[in-house]
Amino acid sequence: MVFNAARSLAAELPAGDLLDLGTVDNTPLADYIGGAKMVWNSGTSVSVTSGAMYIQSLAKVVAFPSTLTLSSLSLAASTWHHLYGYLNAGTPAIELSTTAPAAAYSGFARSKTGDTSRRYIGSTLTDGTGALLGVKMAASKAAYLKDCTTTPNRVLSNGMATTSTNISLSGAVPITSGSVTIVAQNLDPSKAAVIGSSLGSAQIYTLNPGGRYALDFPVDGSQNMTYLMAAGAVSGLYIDVIGYTVER
């Protein structure tokens, strides 16, 4: 109820107006963000939809009443870029930066490292030419709009290790991710594979011989997962990242 009221009020305010919603019924809203969804337009353009967000340096929720767009971007290749909302001389604006967000200051809410006037919205990756890779956002979940059997999404190709081995997801998953959506395929006809999470031994999945699985898999700041094949395997394991969440 409180969050819905805040979102409705934000939509009615002029651009950049500050909502004095630091607390409601003694409940802090320092992590508040409503709307403000990242939208991929093309390899050189990204937008943020209308919404409202708490900005740490202002200690207020700021209205962003209309979609904001960055166009004709020239970006570093194969690099994570992070999208931020802020006020530019009182006017809502967005910024795409290679500077990652800091650790969460409240709940999942993050500001840009070294600059609490920038509220983190989402992350997007460029390819080897500097073009933004296509993603579709739904709430805090992003799905890749590309062939995910290629770089950087294929994070394991014919893995044959028979002892627990780390797989880095950092090429396809931002530092702010809490979970990743993967497709895992065990091509061995008779031996099982096991994948695990750096979050603990409880997060372990057995992949049957010849099985193909789509999984939402938990990750933490290490951006690693583990795998192993049963001894005697003649074919290996493939893992492709098809999406990720962002904690914002």
Residues 26-76 pLDDT 10s: 454 899 999 999 999 999 999 999 999 999 999 999 999 999 999 999 999
The total of other beta-carbon atoms located within 10 Å of residue 214's CB is 11
Instruction: Kindly state whether residues 216 and 176 are assigned to the same domain.
Output: yes
Instruction: Kindly state whether residues 110 and 66 are assigned to the same domain.
Output: yes
Instruction: Kindly state whether residues 182 and 215 are assigned to the same domain.
Output: yes
The verdict on residue 101 lying in a domain is yes
Q: Is the pLDDT of residue 203 over 50?
A: yes
Instruction: Kindly state whether residues 11 and 122 are assigned to the same domain.
Output: yes
The verdict on residue 56 lying in a domain is yes
- The span from the CA of 125 to the CA of 77, in Å, is 9
Instruction: Kindly state whether residues 26 and 113 are assigned to the same domain.
Output: yes
How confident is the model at residue 221, as a pLDDT?
80
CA-CA distances (angstroms) from residue 77 to 19, 71, 175?
Answer: 38, 17, 18
How confident is the model at residue 204, as a pLDDT?
83
- The span from the CA of 213 to the CA of 239, in Å, is 10
Q: Is the pLDDT of residue 210 over 70?
A: yes
Q: Domain containing 189 — which CATH number?
A: 2.60.120
Instruction: Kindly state whether residues 114 and 209 are assigned to the same domain.
Output: no
Task: Choose one of 104, 133, 162: the last residue of a domain.
Answer: 133
The verdict on residue 46 lying in a domain is yes
How confident is the model at residue 102, as a pLDDT?
97
Average pLDDT taken over every residue of the chain = 89
The verdict on residue 182 lying in a domain is yes
Parent domain of 19:
2-133
Q: What is the pTM of this model?
A: 0.86
Residue 168: in which H helix or E strand, if any?
A: strand 165-168
Lowest-confidence segment of 4-8, 52-56, 151-155, 224-228 by average pLDDT: 4-8
pLDDT band at 18 (very low <50, low <70, confident <90, very high): low
Q: Which residue has the higher pLDDT, 204 or 84?
A: 84
How confident is the model at residue 218, as a pLDDT?
87
The verdict on residue 22 lying in a domain is yes
How many structural domains is the chain composed of? 2
Contact 54, 31 (CB under 8 A): yes
Hey, what amino acid is at 98? T
Q: Is the pLDDT of residue 25 over 60?
A: no
Strands 212-218 and 179-186 turn out to be: antiparallel
Instruction: Kindly state whether residues 33 and 122 are assigned to the same domain.
Output: yes
Task: Choose one of 79, 101, 133: the last residue of a domain.
Answer: 133
Residue burial 41-78, b: 16+ Cβ < 10 Å; e: rest: eebeebbbebbbbbbbeeebbbbbbeebebeebebeee
The verdict on residue 148 lying in a domain is no
Closest CA to 132 of 141, 122, 118, 140: 122
Instruction: Kindly state whether residues 212 and 241 are assigned to the same domain.
Output: yes
Instruction: Kindly state whether residues 204 and 240 are assigned to the same domain.
Output: yes
Residue burial 82-100, b: 16+ Cβ < 10 Å; e: rest: bbbbbbeeeebbbbbeeeb
pLDDT tens for 111-157 read: 999 999 999 999 999 999 999 999 999 888 999 999 999 999 999 99
The token pair that represents 213 in the structure block = 């699985």
The verdict on residue 15 lying in a domain is yes
